[in-house]
């Protein structure tokens, strides 16, 4: 079973920041938080990952709480092309597989 909990769906206005929450209350100390997104008819696209510090790249920012029990993915200026299912994943420490949950379906509204 997935170790994360995400809202089923969210809406965000185009041009605004999209903030996608994720709960991972049972995360272990050496497990990373990964975010992927999947646009219709494509494979999942890697966005960002982190262990305990906040991370930023050209696509998004990842904010991880100090207790590491939750995180937020931030898309700073959402566009219509950001409409997708977003998966928050905790990478199992010993194994290397990815266990996907149901994700959050993000709708960007014009």
Partner 1 sequence: DAGVTQSPTHLIKTRGQQVTLRCSPKSGHDTVSWYQQALGQGPQFIFQYYEEEERQRGNFPDRFSGHQFPNYSSELNVNALLLGDSALYLCASSLYRLDQPQHFGDGTRLSIL
Neighbours of 88 (CB within 10 A): 28
Nearer to partner 1, 42 or 110 (CB): 42
CB of 51 to partner 1, least distance (A): 8
CB of 42 to partner 1, least distance (A): 5
3-state secondary structure the chain: CCCCECCCEEEEECCCCEEEEEECCCCCCCCCEEEEEECCCCCCEEEEEECCCCEECCCCEEEECCCCCEEEEEECCCCHHHCEEEEEEECCCCCCCCCCCCCEEEEEEC
Among 2, 10, 59, 74, binds partner 1 (CB under 8 A): 2
How many residues sit in the footprint of partner 1 (CB under 8 A)?
Answer: 25
The residue with tokens 């959050």 is 104
Nearer to partner 1, 53 or 110 (CB): 53
**Residues 45-104 close enough to bind partner 1 by CB under 8 A:** 45-46, 49, 51, 87, 91, 93, 95-103
Q: Which residues bind partner 1 (CB under 8 A)?
A: 2, 30, 32, 34, 36, 41-46, 49, 51, 87, 91, 93, 95-103
């Amino acid at each position: 079973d997935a170790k994360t909990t995400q809202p089923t769906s969210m809406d965000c206005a185009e041009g605004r920041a999209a903030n996608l929450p994720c709960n991972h209350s049972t995360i272990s100390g050496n497990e990373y938080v990964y975010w992927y997104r999947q646009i219709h008819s494509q494979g999942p696209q890697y966005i960002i990952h982190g262990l305990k510090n906040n991370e930023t790249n050209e696509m998004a920012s990842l904010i991880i709480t100090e207790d590491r029990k939750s995180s937020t993915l931030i898309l700073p200026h959402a566009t219509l092309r950001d409409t997708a299912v977003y998966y928050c994943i905790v990478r199992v420490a010993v194994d290397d597989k990815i266990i996907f949950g149901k994700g959050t379906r993000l709708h960007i509204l014009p």
